[in-house]
Amino acid sequence: MLGLAPDAARVFLPFVALIGLYVSWTDLRGMRIPNASVLLLAGVFVVLGPFVLPLDIYGPRLLHLVAILVLGFALSVMGVMGAGDAKFLAAAAPFVALADLRLMFMLLAATMLAAFVTHRVIKRTPLRRLAPDWESWRRDKDFPMGTALSTALTLYVALAAFS
């Protein structure tokens, strides 16, 4: 059993999945994660969380958002990650139970590898013509991490929902 209760995960899942798809698409298309999508993801937790989580769990999870936002900002300033990635991680943090960090890191590693390989392979095949104007095709050193981040979060919430 995961740290995110199945009932809560089932409520969060449709929102997390839809926002995640949008984040993936915008990051692939323009190498940007819009602030509105990050605020919407955080808003889903802030608004729905008190209805599906006990308050003694909900409150500390909001602190996850603040802690990851501060850490992400520092990493962004140092050039380790993009600002959109840092903000997305902060908005995603409240959904993840501390007890599930190991699983989350495994999901993130797997989605990063899968997204990177898939992106680089498609970039060099005729499939690229399906979206010829995507900015992510033109960047050799940058990678649209929003795809991996949103996929990892969606998979985590889905695993919790159906556990």
pLDDT, tens only, 17-44: 999 999 999 999 999 999 999 999 999 9
Instruction: Cite the beta strand spans of 6-154 per DSSP E.
Output: none
Provide the whole-model pTM.
0.96
Structure tokens, 125? 């095949």
The answer as to whether 1 is a domain residue is no
* 126-156: pLDDT as tens digits: 999 999 999 999 998 899 999 999 999 999 9
Give Cβ neighbours of residue 105 (< 8 Å, ≥ 6 apart): none
Question: Residue 5 has what DSSP assignment?
Answer: -
The length of the chain in residues reads 163
Q: Is residue 13 part of a domain?
A: yes
The tally of CA atoms less than 13 A away on the side-chain side of residue 96 is 25
Handedness of CA 42, 45, 46, 48 (dihedral sign): positive
CA angle 94, 145, 104 (to 5 degrees): 40
pLDDT at 70: 97
Domain encompassing residue 90: 6-161
In a domain, 54, yes or no: yes
Structural domain tally of the chain? 1
